Amino acid sequence: MARELINIYENILNSLKYHFEVSKTQLNLDNDIVICDERSFQGWFENEKLLPTTIYIIVAFNEGSILFGNTVIPISFIVYSEQGTFENARLLLTYFATEFNFAYESQGNVNFIQSYSIPTMREEFAEEGNSFRAIFDMSGTFVYGENVSGITELNIDGKKVRFLNVECTFTATPNSANLGDKDDRTTTVNASATFGMSVSVPSLLNDTFVSKVDSLIFGNADINTTFEVTITKGGVTYPTRTLHFIDIHYSQEITNIPIYAIGLGE
């Protein structure tokens, strides 16, 4: 069990490092980023080796739980901004939290989903080591499962779609035949089958799929509009299916982002 937990921590840290580097690149920031635990950061702090333009992200793993074979691990961040200002650190954290919220990731035989809160500023300028920096707090949760085969990517019309949840169904229509004149036993052969999928997606600007959904539910698009859907699950990308809308539900609340719940079928 101890070794398994070490692997979980290592995989989560690797994911965080990669996603923060992606965020830095997308934002074109020149700041270096150091991700460490509290003990490592204390060493830099005591020796006053904090570099002026470096953003320090301290990760703490909080008490988790095991649920149906998945390990749920809450994490928290304490983030020290670049020296003398906080704009780049806040931009980095905000981009990271929104871009990778509910991201589904696969590392070998491990799948996990992650969620994050919006960063909050604890102090605008605090004297830390040899400099003044802003301090941010942020939290997150990882749902971590080994040897779990989950949908890691959903492409619709050639574009990757960010989804909050997805359900797939396979419904067969049987055709039964009597095997004899003196008994009632039958053998069943499936005559046909239908694939269906329900997916919840956030309503985002400049999203091709959302634009098509909007044109149907709010506009005058053809009700038989079809989509080319490709699913990647358990490391396997399956053949593309042509699906059409079965139902669409749009939900908007003042405290949440607008959400579409969409049913698609063959």
What DSSP string describes 203-243?
--TT-HHHHHHHHHHTS---TT-EEEEEEEETTEEPPPEEE
Domain count, the chain: 2
Domain boundary among 146, 162, 178: 146
Task: Please say if the pLDDT value at position 2 is more than 50.
Answer: no
Domain boundary among 146, 162, 179: 146
Q: What is the pLDDT of residues 26-51, one digit of tens each?
A: 889 888 998 887 666 555 555 557 78
Q: What is the pLDDT of residues 55-92, one digit of tens each?
A: 989 998 888 777 666 788 899 999 988 888 888 898 89
Structural domain that includes position 38: 2-146
Considering the domain architecture, whether residues 42 and 169 belong to the same structural domain is answered as no
Considering the domain architecture, whether residues 188 and 208 belong to the same structural domain is answered as yes
Contact (CB, 8 A) for 112 and 144: yes
Domain boundary among 113, 146, 179: 146
Output the domain CATH number for residue 76.
3.30.2000.30
Task: Please say if the pLDDT value at position 208 is more than 90.
Answer: no
Considering the domain architecture, whether residues 252 and 138 belong to the same structural domain is answered as no
Task: Please say if the pLDDT value at position 134 is more than 60.
Answer: yes
- Across the chain, mean pLDDT equals 81
